Amino acid sequence: MYISNTKNELVARISKDANGKFAYKTIPADLIYLSDMKSEDVSLTVKRQLKLSDNNLIIRDFVYYEVRSTVISSQAKITLDKIIKIANENKESKIEIISHTDVRGEGGDNLKLSQKRSEAVLEYFVKSGIDKARLNPIGKGELEPLNSCTDGVPCTEDEYKMNRRTEFRFYK
């Protein structure tokens, strides 16, 4: 598990012990990677983090997409179900659903595509019982890549895929 600050600087790297559990000290951070955590570990960690970071939490356990697609994969549903659990345990929080694209395609088209991705996630959340009034879908297009894959820079398909993502911000 990796914990980063708002500047994406690594704050802590935590490994599982011999029993498959995480041993950690509570540290002030507002970004947390949940990809290596079992779902039963998620709520305790997030509740502690919400209290420490001024009621603002960005979850960087991303949902990824195929090229030009808004389809939520079975792997993405596992991530979304973790987020739903967190949302159900923090009913006072609102959630920004922030989606991105890679740089291929026109900027305006990518902005629309990212908005549609956020709206697809919103619909998944609503069908799972999350109140729509708590959800704010946001499309960022290609404006915030996680790597150096910008216009004119040659990248591998895996590098492009890193940027085709949805992330989540809980806030009050």
Work out whether strand 31-32 and strand 56-64 pair parallel, antiparallel, or are unpaired: parallel
Q: Cα–Cα distance between 79 and 87 in angstroms, integer?
A: 13
Q: How many residues does the chain have?
A: 172
Residue 58 and residue 76 in contact, taking contact as beta carbons nearer than 8 Å? no
| Domain limits, the chain | 2-171
* Each residue's pLDDT tens digit, 99-138: 999 999 999 999 999 999 999 999 999 999 999 999 999 9
Position 32 scores a pLDDT of: 45
CA atoms within a 13 Å half-sphere pointing along the CA-CB vector of 35: 12
Could you tell me the two tokens for 162?
């890193």
Position 43 scores a pLDDT of: 37
Per-residue pLDDT of the chain (172 residues; tens, 9 = 90+): 655 555 665 655 666 666 665 555 444 444 444 444 444 443 333 433 444 355 678 887 899 999 999 999 999 999 999 999 999 988 999 999 999 999 999 999 999 999 999 999 999 999 999 999 999 999 999 999 999 999 999 999 999 999 999 999 999 8
Listed in sequence order, the residues at least 6 apart from 67 whose beta carbon sits closer than 8 Å to its beta carbon are 102, 104, 160, 164
Phi first, then psi, for residue 11 (nearest 5°) are -100, -40
Position 11 scores a pLDDT of: 57
Question: If 0-12 CB within 10 Å is exposed, 13-18 middle and 19+ buried, where does residue 31 land?
Answer: buried
Position 56 scores a pLDDT of: 79
What is 2-171's CATH topology?
60s Ribosomal Protein L30; Chain: A; (3.30.1330)
Tell me the one-letter amino acid at 1.
M
Element (H, E) at 50: helix 39-52
CA torsion sign for 94, 100, 106, 109 is: negative
